[in-house]
């Protein structure tokens, strides 16, 4: 089969636009679906055709499988791209597409189903010779059994939901006395969140790095990796900053981890784009899970390899072979992504939806902005708070950080509070600059203290700008903001010497 004629994108925001951009380049027609509050959204405007899928609540709209299939049939879309989140890793939906003769752009529903069980996927990867942390192979079947295995593993251990993801229901257990209660709590949360109370226990790594490998596999059995990403800076299991390559990666470690990632792809019968997630600590790495979707942070991999992952997804779904070999893939430079969320980092990251009254996105050398918003757009409160992704490429990590600082400075979003001030703080944080990141980076006291200073400084700058824009004194405001910024930079230089 050659390219598709028309694809329905079953998502919203920046990822829907991102997929539509690849379609437009490949001369593939695009169909958007939008919910009631998204009728004025950028993704609905960008598509060739757009259909109201339902009311605001995701169950009535972006998760409304049968309505989405009906729209695809009605407009003649041969394929559906699920983006990430919503139905992207829903095996039932992938199977429904297959039953309805519509190509699901992703792996088979069987692979999605298998990787959806964290316990079964661990078993599979252990058998394939991929390193996994010590764990309860049969899940938790009895408290005595759990106690015996946890004693063998050695505390601290962690209780995890098998059907879960994103850390939901995870319980860290320091000693045996807390084990029973932790298991009960994890099972309760797993049952209510995933309808499956299966939990398992594994060794808990106190401050691991989260390192993942991008995989690309076609339906003819060809599989390659597109190098590594580090995604350790997270908050409540939501990634905030991702980068490629991982700053502590060595050629030897990369060879070992890439070989393991390709084993995971082989064992799971994977095709299309996927990500293998590892935890890394003290020179060792362990398989955590396989994500059967295109990830938010695919951007940094695209920037350092030059490969358009969505174009490859569309080609693979249309039955094409991957047009390059592993030897063709070169890593060039360093890329960082900062997730811009409509949240207030000074007020416990409280969501801050609202209307965008001023919007100016950065540009210039090495900058990519994948955004789902525009001036005048009202960010709805019922969806994910991420509104755009700011990415910066440099010839090395230092230049990509300097670039990101400059782009954050240029980025103007007035009308809602955002994580921009937090990213300004992180890009100026000594530990981040030195590459000393891990999954609890944002919780560390010294990091929080240092971030606070930069947070307030950037917050002041943005507030100054916002206040004057409201009174039309834009020039004066920008001058003030520049002075504040220069003063802060000077102070930083004084501190550094
Ligand atoms: C872990 C871990 C340490 N040891 N598992 C699993 C879901 C993913 N989003 C985070 N997960 C983790 N699993 C073991 N055996 C550390 C994490 C982890 C994390 C845990 C608690 C709080 C924040 C975290 C951020 C990233 C990773």
Same domain, 329 and 308: yes
* 121 within some domain: no
How many domains in the chain? Answer: 3
Token representation of residue 247: 């700053």
Same domain, 346 and 279: yes
pLDDT tens digit sequence for 424-438: 999 999 999 999 999
Q: Which of 86, 105, 124 is a domain's end point?
A: 105
> What is the average per-residue pLDDT within 363-390?
95
Same domain, 349 and 464: yes
Q: Is the CB of 133 under 6 A from ligand 1?
A: yes
Residue 85: which CATH number? 3.40.50.20
Same domain, 232 and 176: no
Q: What is the pLDDT of residue 480?
A: 66
Same domain, 179 and 323: no
Q: What is the pLDDT of residue 32?
A: 98
Residues 275 and 289: beta-carbon distance below 8 Å: no
What's CA 155's distance to the chain center, in Å? 30
Q: Is the CB of 210 under 6 A from ligand 1?
A: yes
* 80 within some domain: yes
Share the mean pLDDT of the chain.
93
b/e for 168-192, b at 16 or more Cβ within 10 A?
bbbbebeeeeebeebbeebbebbbe
Best residue among 190, 203, 279 to mutate for probing ligand 1's pocket (most ligand atoms within 8 Å of CB) is: 279
Same domain, 183 and 218: no
Kindly report the backbone phi and psi dihedral angles of residue 468, in degrees, each rounded to the nearest multiple of 5, phi listed first: -70, -35
Best residue among 154, 158, 290 to mutate for probing ligand 1's pocket (most ligand atoms within 8 Å of CB) is: 158
Distance CA 56, CA 399 (A): 42
* 120 within some domain: no
* 129 within some domain: no
Same domain, 217 and 188: no
* 478 within some domain: yes
Its domain, for residue 44, covers 6-105
Q: Which atom of ligand 1 is nearest to the CA of 157?
A: 15
Angle (CA) 432 286 216, round 5°: 85
Q: What is the pLDDT of residue 16?
A: 98
Paired sense of beta strands 6-9 and 79-81, if any: parallel
Q: Which atom of ligand 1 is nearest to the CA of 165?
A: 7
Residue 352: which CATH number? 3.30.470.20
* 385 within some domain: yes
pLDDT tens digit sequence for 73-85: 999 999 999 999 9
Q: What is the pLDDT of residue 236?
A: 87
* 401 within some domain: yes
Ligand 1 centre and the CA of 283: distance in Å?
A: 17
Residues 239 and 340: beta-carbon distance below 8 Å: no
Task: Calculate the dihedral angle through the C-alpha atoms of 279, 282, 285, 288, rounding to the nearest 10 degrees.
Answer: -20
Q: Which of 65, 90, 105 is a domain's end point?
A: 105
What is the value of pTM for the model shown? 0.92
Residues with active-site annotation: 293
Q: Is the CB of 202 under 6 A from ligand 1?
A: yes
3-state secondary structure of 267: helix
Q: Is 221 exposed, middle or buried (0-12, 13-18, 19+ CB in 10 A)?
A: exposed
Q: Which of 177, 203, 229 is a domain's end point?
A: 203
Q: What is the pLDDT of residue 455?
A: 76
Same domain, 443 and 307: yes
pLDDT of 475 higher than 80: no
Same domain, 347 and 386: yes
Residue 141: which CATH number? 3.30.1490.20
Residue bearing the CA closest to ligand 1, atom 14: 204
């Amino acid at each position: 089969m050659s390219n598709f004629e028309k694809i329905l994108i079953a998502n919203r925001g920046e990822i829907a636009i991102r997929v539509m951009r690849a379609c437009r380049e490949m001369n593939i027609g695009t169909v958007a679906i939008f919910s009631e509050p998204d009728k004025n959204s950028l993704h609905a405007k960008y598509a060739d055709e757009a259909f109201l899928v339902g009311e605001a609540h995701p169950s009535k709209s972006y998760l409304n499988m049968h309505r989405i299939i009906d729209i695809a049939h009605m407009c003649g879309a041969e394929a559906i791209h699920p983006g990430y989140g919503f139905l992207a890793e829903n095996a039932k939906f992938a199977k429904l597409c297959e039953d309805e003769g519509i190509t699901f752009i992703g792996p088979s529903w069987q692979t999605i189903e298998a990787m959806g069980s964290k316990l079964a996927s661990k078993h599979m990867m252990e058998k394939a010779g991929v390193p996994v942390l010590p764990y309860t192979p049969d899940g938790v079947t009895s408290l005595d059994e759990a106690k015996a295995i946890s004693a063998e593993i050695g505390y601290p251990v962690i209780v995890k939901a098998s059907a879960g993801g994103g850390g939901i229901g995870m319980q860290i257990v320091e000693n045996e006395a807390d084990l029973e209660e932790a298991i009960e709590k994890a099972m309760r949360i797993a049952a209510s969140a995933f309808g499956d109370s299966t939990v398992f226990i594994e060794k808990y790594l106190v401050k691991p790095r989260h390192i993942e490998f991008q995989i690309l596999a076609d339906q003819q059995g060809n599989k390659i990796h597109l190098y590594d990403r580090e995604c350790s800076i997270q908050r409540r299991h939501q990634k905030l900053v991702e980068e490629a390559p991982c700053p502590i990666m060595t050629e030897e470690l990369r060879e070992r981890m890439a070989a393991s990632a390709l084993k995971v792809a082989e064992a799971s019968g994977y095709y299309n784009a996927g990500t293998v997630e590892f935890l890394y600590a003290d020179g060792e790495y362990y398989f955590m899970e396989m994500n059967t979707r295109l990830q938010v942070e695919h951007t940094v991999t695209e920037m350092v390899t030059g490969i358009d992952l969505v174009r490859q997804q569309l080609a693979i779904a249309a039955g094409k072979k991957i047009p390059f070999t592993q030897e063709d893939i070169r890593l060039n430079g360093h890329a960082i992504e900062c997730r811009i969320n409509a949240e207030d980092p000074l007020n416990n990251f409280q969501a801050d939806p609202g209307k965008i009254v001023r919007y100016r996105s950065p540009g210039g050398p090495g900058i990519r902005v994948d955004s789902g918003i525009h001036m005048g757009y009202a960010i709805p409160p019922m969806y994910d708070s991420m509104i755009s992704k700011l990415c910066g490429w440099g010839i090395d990590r230092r230049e990509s950080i300097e670039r990101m600082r400059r782009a954050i400075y240029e980025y103007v979003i007035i009308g809602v509070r955002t994580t921009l001030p937090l990213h300004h703080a992180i890009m100026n944080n000594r530990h981040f600059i030195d590459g000393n990141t891990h999954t609890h980076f944002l919780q560390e006291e010294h990091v929080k203290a240092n971030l606070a200073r930069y947070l307030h400084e950037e917050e002041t700058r943005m507030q100054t700008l916002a206040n004057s824009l409201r009174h039309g004194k834009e020039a004066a405001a920008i001058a003030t903001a520049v002075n504040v910024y220069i003063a802060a930079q000077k102070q930083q230089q004084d501190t550094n010497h």
